[in-house]
Structure 1
Amino acid sequence: MRILQPSGWPAPKGYANGMSAEGRLVVTGGVIGWDVHGQLPPDFIAQVRQTLRNIAAILEAGDARPEHLVRLTWYVVDMDEYLASLKALGQVYREVFGAHYPAMALVQVVRLVEKAARVEIEATAVVPR
């Protein structure tokens, strides 16, 4: 796996501009922060933490680990809430995935399928051969 950083570009903080990898692909659908009982925590950071844990569990089921992630696409219902939570988000992210930062995109949406969900994340991982 290789981080793609064009010469002369400023270093991104908390994500990579691009990733290159060869191996077996593991992808998730849109994952939200519900627990095994289908319950969503009420607050944004708790939902992000559980969403990341859920992604880690899916990766494990596919014999992958967070360091195999090459892309995350985040869908949030409130960009201001996301931006106001950057420090806590960084802590939660590192708690679950460590200091591995794949290519990421962040998109604000009107709402998610589960009305109480504040965040949904899709993940792509490549497991080396």
Structure 2
Amino acid sequence: MVKRVVIPQEFQEAAEKLNMSPAIFSGNHIFLSGMTGADMSGNMPEDPEAQFRNTFKKIACILNEANLDLDAIVEMTSYHIGLREHFELFDSIRLELFSKPYPAWTAIEAAALRREGALVEVRAVVSANYGG
């Protein structure tokens, strides 16, 4: 099976520095690497809402590069620092951005994330042939 990388211009430098792909097409799916709440410049805000919105903004940027939108996500896993303190806020933002049918979703409390100061990391699986 052929794999094809998805790297928006905004992620080129980070992908090269970290030796990773933001997303990979494989068959009829796109597998997204975990995205944290740093902004497109790499700055990690302290504000949880800003982090959560940045996370989804980066996911949307990757999907846009593949000519898709957030509704193409079929499954996502979110890893949280302080899950119970921030769950309602994260969930309210999730519900602003997604529509029915909602993606399958698992939220996990994590002891730590690779990126210093990150409160969330979200990975996703996307239907590459989503037609709305």
TM-score, normalised relative to structure 2 = 0.70
Give ranges in structure 2 of 5+ residues lacking alignment. Answer: 1-26
Match of residue 67 from structure 1: 71
Q: CA deviation at 1:96?
A: 3.4
Deviations along 1:40-97, whole A, 9 cap, x unmatched? 11022221111011111111112221111101100001122133xx1x3343224434
Q: Report deviation, 1:118.
A: 0.6
Identity of aligned residues (%): 28
Distance 1:77 1:109 in 2: 6
Give the match for residue 54 of structure 2. Answer: 50
Kindly state the Cα deviation for residue 34 of structure 1 after the two structures are TM-superposed. Answer: 1.1
Q: Hey, which of these two has a bigger chunk of helix by percent?
A: 2
Q: Unpaired runs of 5+ in structure 1?
A: 1-22
* Structure 2 counterpart of 1:79, one-letter code: L
Report the number of matched residues: 104
Residue of structure 1 in register with 2:82 after alignment: 78
Shift of 1:98: 4.3
Aligned Cα root-mean-square deviation (Å): 1.9
Q: Distance in 2 between matches of 1:64 and 1:26?
A: 10
> Whose RCO is larger (CA < 8 A, sep 6+)?
1
Distance across 2 between alignment mates of 1:79 and 1:53: 20
Give the 4+ runs in structure 1 shifted more than 3 A. Answer: 94-100
Normalising by structure 1, report the TM-score.
0.71
